[in-house]
């Protein structure tokens, strides 16, 4: 096992971050999606970015499964290693669940999800009973849970860099 992430893992990590930044900018700029909201360019872009994030997260998980993860940094307390693993897996879970919830909600609302000019299949029928909750859960998980976990992830990386002075952050930096 190595102490650093592969260049592919680093690229995928930073690509997901860049996609999330753009996704949040689009999400916060687009109109509120209500009962009769038409699909605007921003809403369509939000859907597309969600599918791209889902695809990149799946590639990242496949890469991690094939390559493994680096050994923990020497001298870390076990609770920090365990906390980091929990936060990472929760982030992966959200990177999969949020696009799927959004796609389900778009399907439920009858809104097309289009990628490269092709309409993707609906995951549930329009107004299918029992699926109306997906938009609210998508919003709460993204605006609160995902942002809190990303904030915790960033704070931990900065803590390790500036307070502990270890290599935790450098292991994920390009060229680190």
**Range of 85's domain?**
7-164
The CATH number covering residue 40 comes to 1.20.950
Residue 143 falls within a domain, yes or no?
yes
Sequence-separated (6 or more) residues with CB below 8 Å from residue 32: none
CA 76 to chain centre: 26
Sequence-separated (6 or more) residues with CB below 8 Å from residue 110: 126, 127
State the pTM of this model.
0.94
Would you write out the chain's pLDDT as a tens digit for each of its 176 residues?
577 899 999 999 999 999 999 999 999 999 888 878 999 999 999 999 999 999 999 999 999 999 998 988 889 999 999 999 999 999 999 999 999 999 999 999 999 999 999 999 999 999 999 999 999 999 999 999 999 999 999 999 999 999 999 999 999 999 86
Residue 86 falls within a domain, yes or no?
yes
Residue 2 falls within a domain, yes or no?
no
Total domains in the chain come to 1
């Amino acid at each position: 096992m190595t102490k650093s992430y592969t260049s592919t893992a680093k690229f995928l990590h930073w690509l997901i971050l860049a996609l999330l930044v753009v996704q949040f900018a689009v999400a916060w700029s687009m109109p509120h999606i209500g009962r009769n909201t038409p699909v605007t360019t921003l809403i369509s872009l939000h859907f597309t970015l969600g599918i791209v994030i889902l695809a990149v997260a799946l590639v990242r998980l496949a890469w991690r499964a094939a390559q493994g993860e680096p050994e923990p940094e020497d001298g870390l307390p076990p609770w920090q290693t365990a906390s980091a693993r929990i936060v990472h897996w929760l982030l992966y879970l959200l990177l999969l669940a949020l696009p799927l919830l959004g796609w389900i909600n778009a399907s439920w609302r009858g809104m097309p999800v289009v990628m490269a000019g092709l309409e993707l299949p609906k995951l549930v029928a329009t107004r299918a009973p029992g699926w109306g909750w997906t938009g609210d859960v998508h919003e709460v998980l993204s605006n609160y849970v995902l942002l809190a976990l990303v904030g915790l992830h960033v704070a931990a990386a900065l803590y390790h860099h500036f307070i502990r002075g270890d290599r935790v952050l450098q292991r994920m930096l390009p060229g680190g």
